[in-house]
Amino acid sequence: MLTLDLDGLMIELKQGTVKHVGASNASAEAKLYDVEGVDVRTFGDERVKVGFDDGEGNELEVALFPDEAEALLAGLETVRAESDVFE
């Protein structure tokens, strides 16, 4: 299941073309639940890409710099040590 929360986003759809026509302060939040697949790979020369899919055709990809990837690893290890989620 994929949820999108688009705040202040205005787009124009004209003859099959999507164009942003709103203010530049728009923001968005995406959440993917019931993940069935995870893929981790290098992305370019400086990043790691983590991809998730839910088996329903929804996908979410995140490109992380090394410091961000290290923070993700540390966070997962903390959850593993302090929670019963992995048992």
Instruction: Enumerate long-range contacts of 53-57, CB under 8 Å, 24 or more apart.
Output: 54/1, 54/2, 56/1
Domain ranges for the chain, please list them.
1-33, 35-87
SS3 of 15, please? Answer: coil
Name the pTM for this structure: 0.76
28-85 pLDDT, tens digit per residue, is 899 999 999 999 999 999 999 999 999 999 999 999 999 999 999 999 999 999 999 9
